[in-house]
């Protein structure tokens, strides 16, 4: 863990409330969970998350999306794209996701999160809080992602205008055993959404 992630506060104590996680789940009619969408830039993480959010809303399920670019406009606006900053970016988002999931919300976190250890840290946060966590690997070949290039980032990376770009001159460490593996270069968006909803139902998160 890097220095930026070390706890510096002292003389702090956890304060429990009178409303339990079960109470919140009863009010909402479903449990909280974090779905962690990871994959290359252009793989379809945000596209799938947006579609899943819409499908959940149609079922009366409260969800919230945490998107990589959106988060960097606010709470993580002071972070760059070095390995250290990427780690702190994911750590902060992991904590935010954990809090949302604890309230009973279905969290849809879409982040490249290229390093295995960073994703493992987020999983550990949830496990230590006894909260469900689902890693969703948005798998897409580099060729297909680069052909899409919706933000023009691959073109800039190939031209040397962007350094440390995942998949070009920085690695992407693919999940080994994700809870859900979606091949967005071979599946339809409808099939991907259906797979996510089915997986949530099988785990008893939603009905």
Q: Which residues are catalytic?
A: 113
- List b or e across 142-166, with b for residues whose CB sees 16 or more CB atoms inside 10 angstroms: bebbbebeeeebbeebeeeebeebb
If residue 139 lies in a helix (H) or strand (E), which one and from where to where? strand 133-139
> 142, 138, 150: which is closest to 35 by C-alpha?
138
Q: Where are the alpha helices (DSSP H) in 113-172?
A: 116-128, 142-148, 153-158
- List b or e across 7-46, with b for residues whose CB sees 16 or more CB atoms inside 10 angstroms: eeeeeeeeeeeeeebeeeeeebebbbbbbbbbbbbbbbbb
Cβ(48)–Cβ(138) below 8 Å: yes
Dihedral sign for Cα atoms in the order 63, 139, 150, 195:
negative
DSSP label of 82: S
**Cα angle, residue 112 at apex, residues 155 and 163 outer, rounded to 5°:** 40
């Amino acid at each position: 863990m890097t220095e930026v992630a070390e706890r510096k506060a002292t003389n702090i104590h956890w304060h429990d409330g009178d409303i339990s996680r079960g109470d919140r789940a009863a009010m909402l009619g479903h449990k909280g969970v974090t779905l962690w969408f990871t994959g290359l830039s252009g793989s379809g993480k945000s596209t799938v998350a947006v579609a899943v959010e819409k499908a959940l809303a149609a079922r009366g399920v409260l969800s919230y999306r945490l998107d990589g670019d959106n988060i960097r406009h606010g709470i993580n606006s002071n972070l760059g794209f070095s390995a250290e900053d990427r780690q702190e970016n994911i750590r902060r988002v992991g904590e935010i996701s954990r809090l949302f999931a604890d309230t009973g919300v279905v969290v849809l976190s879409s982040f490249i999160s290229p390093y295995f250890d960073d994703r493992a840290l987020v999983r550990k946060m949830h496990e230590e809080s006894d909260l469900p966590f689902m890693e969703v690997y948005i798998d897409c070949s580099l060729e297909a992602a680069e052909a899409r290039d919706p933000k023009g980032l691959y073109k800039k990376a190939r031209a040397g205008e962007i350094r440390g770009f995942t998949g070009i001159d920085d690695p992407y460490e693919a999940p080994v055993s994700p809870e859900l593996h979606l091949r967005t270069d071979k599946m339809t968006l409808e099939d991907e959404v259906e797979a996510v909803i089915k997986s949530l139902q099988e785990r008893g998160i939603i009905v």
